[in-house]
Amino acid sequence: MKKKHVVFFFPWKEISGGPVYLSGLANTLAQQPEYAVGYVDYPQGITDTMLCKEVERISYFEPFSFPCSDPLTLVIPIYCASHIPPLHPDSKLLFVNWHNYSIQALLDSWRLTRENLREFLLLVRKTDSVFFLDKTHWLAQNEWIQSENCTFRERYVPTTVVPKAVRSTGKMVCDKELHIAVLGRLCKDKIFSLLNLIHQLDTLETDYRIHLHVIGEGSEAYRLQRVELRENLYLHREGTITGTKLSEFLAERTDILFAMGLSVLEGAAIALPSVVMPHNVKKFNLDAYAFLQDCQGYALGWYDTQLKELKIPTYPLEEILHTLYAPGGKQQIGMNAFEYAKKNHFDNRALMMEALFATTLSAKDFSSFQKRQGKIYFCKIPIARLESSFDEGEKRVSFLGIQNFCESKKTPEGRYFCLLGKRQKIFQAKKENGYFRLYIGSKRIPFIKL
């Protein structure tokens, strides 16, 4: 019997939950004899050590094309839809939404009008070609088609975690001290969650020493340098820790884990009390946290504004910590987290296979929509096309049929511009409020964000 060919497409350079999630799905599916599974990543990418031997590694280079031209099913984050490579017209597409900001990111990177975006999302809904990491992302994506009075199917494929050999002892690390771990990248959509937690810790009335162990790095780490801490609150930057070393650190040196997404399951996998943090991409103030075992709809993270819709029981930080310090509290809460993870996040292959079977979106139908996007028109005549590399590091404009007429390239020092292949010093890009703004000499060009 000929195997069904499924390829996961997500070349990524940073350690984050996305590659861990997708490589986990690929590994799970590869154990099914009816599937031949591949994964697209950069050569010597971070998933090399995550993927099992049954998954074919496909190296990513730009411009990208698959080494074989046979029909396949491509699994890709929905915010990467603008970067889908050429496929056999009978291939199928299956999108995954794992982030509340996915559709806004797609809107920005694909340069769609809102009318075009709705057209795309309705196509996805009609063809049942999207699954969700959890209910929060289903709710967030529904917001973009509310005017159509319809919703996406609640099709979930939760993230998985492998139970660890290391286990928490259930005993507090030190008397009259509290050791809290926060695990995750220090990026825009997570840093404000950490800052909110620090604020809530600052308001606690306790004589205990509180040690906050921040595990992870990211572009927004500089914000922690501006934080003033109370006298008995200590912040420890632990950097990036992964694998067995992470499990050992959490088990031996921490009492409780605060995180979101895949990261919160790292605590549950070793029977450590695990708490889900609210988050947003801007500053917020919310004293409401949920034990992992109280989560519903596979939700492992949510915007501070989504709690009413999710109806998840939450508690103020003081009550969370009081429960932890009750006799036998740490051990009981940790075991509850472990049992929740065992029930919901140890095996998701059946849900993944259902999602693959359900999609009816062909590459041919998607291509007819894709070709109309990213173009600049003059009197309804296309005169230019905007394109970008997968990681948005390079952005290109083709003008009147001239390929790469203008290019913008990101470097550690900033962005520089090329015109017909020659670097132009007059153009500059300066980072302002998370975006690069374009300047000609010392004058900023309005409305342009890179």
Residue 160: which of 307, 14, 29, 62 has the closest Cα?
29
Beta-strand relationship, 278-279 and 274-276: unpaired
What value, to the nearest 5°, has the Cα angle with vertex 161 and ends 138 and 336? 90
Three-class DSSP category at 56: strand
Alpha helices in 208-362 (DSSP H): 243-253, 262-268, 307-310, 317-325, 329-345, 349-358
Size (the chain), residues: 450
**Taking a C-beta distance cutoff of 8 angstroms, is the pair 323, 329 a contact?**
yes
| d(C-alpha 339, C-alpha 207), whole Å | 33
- Amino acid (one-letter) located at 439: Y
The two tokens of residue 220 are 């927004």
Q: What pLDDT sits at residue 341?
A: 94
- Amino acid (one-letter) located at 286: L
HEC profile for 294-324? HCCCCCCCEECCCHHHHCCCCECHHHHHHHH
> For the whole model, what pTM was predicted?
0.75
Q: What pLDDT sits at residue 68?
A: 82
| d(C-alpha 286, C-alpha 113), whole Å | 34
Residue 312: which of 329, 326, 298, 333 has the closest Cα?
298
**Taking a C-beta distance cutoff of 8 angstroms, is the pair 409, 418 a contact?**
yes
Axis-axis angle for helices 349-358, 17-30 (nearest 10): 90
Residue 134 per-residue DSSP state: S
Residue 70: which of 92, 87, 94, 93 has the closest Cα?
87
Q: What is the dihedral angle through the alpha carbons of 233, 239, 242, 248, rounded to the nearest 10 degrees? A: -40
List residues bridging with 210 in a β-sheet: 178, 233
Token match 């928490």: residue? Answer: 168
- Amino acid (one-letter) located at 3: K
Q: Within 10 Å of residue 101's Cβ, how many Cβ atoms?
A: 16
| d(C-alpha 181, C-alpha 188), whole Å | 19
Dihedral of alpha carbons 322, 325, 329, 334, sign: positive
The two tokens of residue 267 are 């605590």
List residues bridging with 183 in a β-sheet: 215
**Taking a C-beta distance cutoff of 8 angstroms, is the pair 155, 357 a contact?**
no
Dihedral of alpha carbons 59, 60, 63, 66, sign: positive
| d(C-alpha 257, C-alpha 190), whole Å | 15
Per-residue pLDDT of the chain (450 residues; tens, 9 = 90+): 789 999 999 999 887 889 989 999 999 999 999 999 999 999 989 999 999 999 999 999 887 888 888 999 999 999 999 889 999 999 999 999 998 889 998 888 787 778 889 999 999 999 999 999 999 999 999 999 988 889 999 999 998 888 888 999 999 999 889 999 999 999 988 999 999 999 999 999 888 999 999 999 998 999 998 898 988 999 999 999 988 999 999 999 999 999 998 899 999 999 999 999 999 989 999 999 999 999 988 999 898 988 888 889 999 999 999 999 999 999 999 999 999 999 999 889 999 999 999 999 999 999 878 766 656 666 766 666 666 766 666 777 777 767 777 777 776 666 677 777 777 666 666 666 555 566 665 667 655 555
| d(C-alpha 131, C-alpha 78), whole Å | 10
Q: Within 10 Å of residue 96's Cβ, how many Cβ atoms?
A: 26
**Taking a C-beta distance cutoff of 8 angstroms, is the pair 21, 265 a contact?**
no
CA 38 to chain centre: 20
Three-class DSSP category at 3: coil
**Taking a C-beta distance cutoff of 8 angstroms, is the pair 312, 300 a contact?**
no
**Taking a C-beta distance cutoff of 8 angstroms, is the pair 190, 260 a contact?**
yes
Q: What is the dihedral angle through the alpha carbons of 355, 356, 359, 364, rounded to the nearest 10 degrees? A: 150
| d(C-alpha 327, C-alpha 329), whole Å | 5
